[in-house]
Amino acid sequence: MERKNGHRAHRRAVGLLPFVGISLLVLMLVVSLAACGSPSKATTTTTGAAVTTSTVASTSTTEIATTTTVADRFPAKVSAKGLAYATDSSGQPKGATISFTVEINRNPDKKVSVGVREGEVSGTGDQWRAAAWAAPLAAASMLNVNLADYTVDYDVDGRVDGPSAGGLMTIATIAAFMGDTLKTDVTMTGTINPDYTIGPVGGIPQKLEGAAAAGMKTVLVPLGQRYDYDEKTGDLVDLVQKGTQLGLTVKEVADVYEAYPYFTGNQLPKPQGSGSGTPALGSASEQTLKDCIQNDAAAANQLLTERKTLAAAYLKYGAANATNAAADISQADNQMVQGSFGAAYGSVQDAAREAFKAYLYAKASSYSDWQKLALWLKGQVPTTSISQVQTQLVARSPKTVGEASCVMDAWGCLAQAQADAQVANNDLDEISSNYDTLSNTELDNYMTEAIDYYSEALLGVQCAQDDLKLADVATGPAITSTDMVAQLAESYRRAGEANVAMLDSVVVPEDASAWGVSEADAKNLLAAYDPNYFQAVQASNQIQTLLGSLPEGTARDYAVLGISFDSFTSSAASIAENYDYIAKYDKNGNITGFTFDKPLSNALDLAKTNAGNGLLQLDSTGDGTVIPWTWYDMANSTRDSAQPADKIASLYYYWNATAQTRALLAISGGAQSLVQQ
pLDDT tens digits, residue range 340-395?
999 999 999 999 999 999 999 999 999 988 888 888 988 888 888 999 999 999 99
- The predicted structure's pLDDT at residue 4: 59
Question: Rounded to whole angstroms, what are the CA distances from 177 to 174, 268, 483, 541, 579?
Answer: 5, 12, 22, 33, 30
pTM of the full predicted structure? 0.85
Written as one letter, the residue type at 244 is T
In which element (H, E) is residue 48 found? strand 46-54
> By C-alpha distance, which of 5, 1, 612 is closest to 288?
1
Q: Which of 255, 222, 256, 258 is nearest to 239 (CA)?
A: 222
Whole-number pLDDT of residue 3: 64
pLDDT value for 92: 85
Between CA 131 and CA 137 the distance in angstroms is: 10
Q: Whole-angstrom Cα distance, residue 305 to residue 21?
A: 29
Contact 676, 69 (CB under 8 A): yes
Between CA 292 and CA 627 the distance in angstroms is 13
**Burial track 255-276 (b if 16+ CB lie within 10 A, e otherwise):** bbbbbbebbbebebeebebeee
Nearest to 270 by CA among 614, 628, 640, 645: 614
Rounded Cα distance between 8 and 343, Å, is 17
List of the chain residues with pLDDT < 50: 6-70
Q: Are 250 and 221 spatial neighbours (Cβ–Cβ below 8 Å)?
A: yes
Q: Which of 260, 278, 37, 29 is nearest to 164 (CA)?
A: 37
Read off the amino acid at residue 600: L
Based on the number of CB atoms within 10 Å of its own CB, is 549 exposed (0-12), middle (13-18) or buried (19 or more)? exposed
In angstroms, the CA 428 to CA 375 distance is 8
* Maximal CA-CA distance, the chain: 80
d(CA 579, CA 163): 10
As a whole number of angstroms, the distance between CA 507 and CA 31 comes to 10
Question: Distance between CA 512 and CA 523 in Å, rounded?
Answer: 8
The CATH code belonging to domain 39-264 is 3.30.230.10
pLDDT computed for residue 354 by the predictor:
97
**3-state helix vs strand vs coil in the chain, percent to 5:** 55, 10, 30
Domain map (residue ranges) of the chain: 6-28+382-667, 39-264
The pLDDT, as a whole number, for residue 25 is: 25
Residues 459, 421 contacting (CB under 8 angstroms): no
Among 337, 431, 421, which residue's Cα sits nearest to residue 380? Answer: 421
CB 559 within 8 A of CB 393: yes
Quote the pLDDT of residue 370: 84
pLDDT at 451 (0 to 100): 94
Give which of 540, 539, 544, 537 is closest to 523, Cα–Cα: 537
Q: How far apart are CA 4 and CA 9, in angstroms?
A: 7
Check residue 449 and give its pLDDT: 92
Q: If residue 495 lies in a helix (H) or strand (E), which one and from where to where?
A: helix 482-502
Query: From residue 495, how far is each of 44, 46, 223, 569, 662 by CA, in Å?
Result: 22, 19, 24, 10, 16
Q: Where do the H-state alpha helices sit in 379-481?
A: 383-395, 401-434, 440-471
